Each structure stands twice: as structure tokens, then as C-alpha cells.
Amino acid sequence: MPVNISPLSSEHLLPVAGVSLGIAEAGIKTSHRKDLLVIVLNEGAQVAGVFTQNRFCAAPVVVAKSHLADSAIRALVVNTGNANAGTGESGMQHARTTCSVLAELLHCGSEQVLPFSTGVIMEPLPVKKVVGGLPVAVANLRPNNWFDAAQAIMTTDIVPKGVSKQIELNDQTVTITGIAKGSGMIRPNMATMLGFIATDAGVDPVLLQDITRYAADRSFNCITVDGDTSTNDAVMLIATGCAGHVAINKRNSAEFERLRDAITEVAIILAQMIVRDGEGATKFITVQVEAGRNTEECQQVAYAVAHSPLVKTAFFASDPNLGRILAAIGYAGVNDLDVDGITLYLGDVLVVENGGRASSYREEDGQFVMNQPEITVKVVLNRGTASSTVWTCDFSYDYVKINSDYRS
């Protein structure tokens, strides 16, 4: 079961002026489940995004990047049950067809539609089912459909993921609402995970892209479930400009920083929800690396620990076999690392100092921490002032079961 995620309901997700959402049951993979989402934006809305760096990126990613670069976006369409990745030219055509059909229904240009897909890779997209569901999704467009939208983008997720936040800017209430999906194939590198965040603030398009990158680098790019970067990862940020007189057009302003930080907070909550709902997860683990020479080496060490199957299975078993963490630190790729200078903490328990087991460490203290559902691993490199944090989960029996049965 997901680790410490409060149940989500429609009351938790606030509508964002200028955004309407519609859902359909298109039967893309299975019947009688929400699997198609249409998001329609008011004219003048700005959209920014970051996408997977996987070179085998999906057809909808290619099309979405092209449309986003050249057009004023009016709609997004998301299907689950099929990733439309590894599908060659036919997959590209199916993505374009989806955009064209939705554009006709909305009376806009096909290049003003962004497509997104998630699900099984290397299987043809059942495009007839997708386009067949579009009229239903358009017919039930509502501003308060965020909860249903969070359900409609799920694949192996156990729970829908969403959050809303409001802040005051220029004496005006600004709303931020976001949803995300993801549970496995999670090690985003953006720049099978999708995130959609919207605000009713007005934001200059260049600054909106800056905020998107800033937020992604501090949230979705700091999580891992299994170390696999999906072919379909994307995070989109929408600014409708419908919140009165709120217009962010200066980078060096208090309003820009407040909005950027609030959006980043929403992104962090969504990213952590993905880890908490990692396939088969029973533990939520924070890996903090401090006192490094630079951020890059801190992240190298953090991901080495967070990716290690041996570390992750030890956490699942609540086994304080902490030498596995030392091994991961050692192979992280920091070639001039002085291991004698490292200290390692499990929670508040000092485990390693001076290159070996701390004299004060007792296994029963480590066992107590390992039994908890949320655990912090802190690695202090003692060679600088940089730091990095990564969030991950354990590997359980269910992770293997879920992924061995994924296409069933």
C-alpha cells in the first residue's frame, strides 16, 4: 500500500480559472475505467514543459515538443493503457490523428493540441478507441474535474495524485493545482511519469519555462523508484492569466519568486506522492548527501544509494545491513573520494565515521530506524558545502509481481 498518502477527493483539488477538464472511458486497455483526459485552456493561456531525455522517446513526446515550440496551445489530450512508444511512423501518425480529431471538436488548429500517452511500450496505439472517446470527454468538460482527471491518467498507480495551493500576489488570490501519475519506470530525467500543473496567474512565457525547469529540477528530477527513465515522461505547466491583475513579467521580483516557490512546492508534493505510491512500496526513503564538493557529485552519491537493489531490498526487510549503503557510496563514481572522511547517519543514529563502523553504533538502534515507514539516510562527504536530496522507496515482492504481470 502507498506510504503515508492521505486519501484524495474532489474537495482537495481547486478549479483553476481558464482550465476545463473532460474524461472518458475509451476502453484503450480495459473496459469500464477512466482512461482518456482532455484539458482545454482559455485563449491566451501560456504553456511550458519539460520532457524525457530518453532517446527512445514516445511519438506523443515528439509531437508535443514540436507543437509547443510553434503554437499557442489550446488543449492537451492524455491517454492511458498504451504509451505509443517504439511504434515508428505509424505511432507518429496516430498521435497527429488524435490531435486533429480533438482540434476539429474544439474548433482550433491541430498544432494547438499537445498529446500525451502512458502505458505499455511497443504496442500500436488503438487510435480508433482514442478518437472514439474524444467526443465524450469534450462533452463533460468541467472546471472542477481535477479529481477525475487524476484518476484518468493512472496506470499501475494505486491512488490518484493531486494537490492544490493558494497564495496572495498583488492582493489577489492565485490558485495552483496539479496532478501527476507514476508508480514504476520512475527515474525522471527531464529535463511512465506525467505531471500537469496549472495556475491562474499570468506569466511571461520565457519566465514560465524557467519556473518549469526550476520546479522539475527540485522535485521530479529528485525521485527514483527503480532507476528506469520512461520513454514518455513529461511535466507541463499552464498559466491562464485569469487571476485579475497578476502578471509575472520580471524575473527579479518578489512576485516571481513567490509564484516559482509555490509551484515548486506543489511539484515536490506530487513527486513525493509518486515515490510513496511506488510499485509495491512499503517504505519512503530520503537520501541526503551533504558537504560535497559540488551538487553533481552529491547527486551521484544520492542516486547510487537510492538505485541500489541491495539497499532497497534491505529496507524492505527492515534489515540494518548498512554495509550495502557504503558499497553504493564507493561505486558512485566520485573517483577521489576520501572514504575515511565520510560520516553516515540512519535517521539520527551515527553509523559510520573515520572509514568504519562508529564506536557508538548499536545494531538495535539501526533496527529501530529500519522498522519505520519513513527513513532518512544522511551521507556527509566532508569535502565542501554542496548538497543534494533524492527520494526513493524500497523494493518489495510486489514490485516483481506487478512488473511481471504488467501486460496481463
Catalytic residue annotation: 192
Pairing of strands 284-292, 374-380: parallel
Q: How far apart are CA 226 and CA 181, in angstroms?
A: 15
Assign 3-class secondary structure to the chain: CCCCCCCCCHHHCCCCCCEEEEEECCCCCCCCCCCEEEEEECCCCEEEEEECCCCCCCHHHHHHHHHHHHCCCCEEEEEEEECCCCCHHHHHHHHHHHHHHHHHHHCCCHHHEEEEEEEECCCCCCHHHHHHHHHHHHHCCECCCHHHHHHHCCCCCCCCEEEEEEEEECCEEEEEEEEEECCCCCCCCCCCCEEEEEECCEECHHHHHHHHHHHHHCCHHHECCCCCCCCCCEEEEEECCCCCCCEECCCCCHHHHHHHHHHHHHHHHHHHHHHHCCCCCCCEEEEEEEEECCHHHHHHHHHHHHHCHHHHHHHHCCCCCCHHHHHHHHCCCCCCCCHHHCEEEECCEEEEECCEECCCCCHHHHHHHHCCCEEEEEEECCCCCEEEEEEEECCCHHHHHHHHCCCC
Query: What span, in angstroms and rounded, lies between the C-alpha atoms of 34 and 209?
Result: 30
Q: How far apart are CA 110 and CA 113, in angstroms?
A: 6
Q: What is the DSSP letter of 383?
A: S
3-state secondary structure of 193: coil
Phi-psi region of 37 (alpha: psi -120 to 50; beta: other; left: phi over 0): beta
